[in-house]
Amino acid sequence: MRARTRRLYTFGIAALLLLAAAGIVFVSFRQNANLFYTPRILAEKGLPKSGSEVKVGG
C-alpha cells in the first residue's frame, strides 16, 4: 500500500471515530439535559408533557 493511500485511510478512520465520539456525547447530553422554566413561561404555556421533571428558575 502506498504511503498516500495509507494516510488517506488513516485520516478517514480518524474522522469516523471523531464523528462517532461526538455523536455519543451529543446523545448523552440530550438525554441528561436539565431545562429550567421561568414562572412566566409556565404560566403562559403550562407544564410540559406529563412524567417529566421540571425545574423552575427565576
pLDDT at residue 1 in the model: 82
**Domain membership of residue 30 as a residue range:** 3-56
Collapsing DSSP states into helix, strand and coil, what is residue 22? Answer: helix
Looking at per-residue pLDDT, the higher value among 12 and 53 belongs to 12
pLDDT classification of 14: cutoffs 50, 70, 90:
very high
Burial of 7 (0-12, 13-18, 19+ CB in 10 A): exposed
Q: List the one residue out of 57, 10, 13, 15 whose CA is nearest residue 38.
A: 57
Element (H, E) at 7: helix 3-31
pLDDT at residue 58 in the model: 56
Overall domain count for the chain = 1
pLDDT at residue 48 in the model: 72
pLDDT at residue 22 in the model: 96
